Structure 1
Amino acid sequence: MSYLYLSEIKLGMTLNQVLVSPNGNMVLGQGTVMNEYLLSCLKDWNVKGVDVIEEAAAEFNLAEIERMISDILIALADNAPIETHLQSAAQVHSEIEIELKGLLNRVCWED
């Protein structure tokens, strides 16, 4: 992850933080992929910079998702307590959701 000034942010970069307005409202969520509209909003809001995921880490990686799913299936066979399975599944779900949101946003904004 890297903190970049607004002038360094490029289209397709992924936020690694939640942006909150001064009154406490969430403006942009972690995992948001930057597009022209969002960049112009950040400029209008006088945001100086944001924390982004490094480009290599933001790439959609099907092999990594398959590995995570395989790890869950192996853990399920180990007769571990259900809480362990739920925690593992929740973590993987979160990681997959971030990956898929990034992919979807890139596809939607490249057209």
Structure 2
Amino acid sequence: MNDAAAIASLSALAQDNRLAAFRRLVRAGERGMSAGAIAEALGMAPSSLSFHLAQLSEAGLVTQERQHRTIIYRADYSAIYSLVGYLLENCCEADGCGAAALEALEQAS
């Protein structure tokens, strides 16, 4: 990951509706959720949610898969692990614990 990708990801998450949608998708796991189900769970208008899901998708944080007439959205775990890894790659560099932080992240995935 580079600075531009990290900024895009963090910017996409720096809005309350997008963060809520992303967290809902993380909870849904691999089965994902339709936009309608996400909108209902969050009490949002579907048209408003579509805008937010597009922002998350453009940032690479969610994937979408068409299943017949429905689009299923899923959190992209590899993207979020990459972002967290990028943020931690120089963690405590002066103390030498950066490698341990990255190893813990890799084990969590």
What TM-score, normalized to structure 2? Answer: 0.29
Larger relative contact order, structure 1 or 2 (CA cutoff 8 Å, min sep 6): 1
More helix by share: 2
Larger radius of gyration: 1
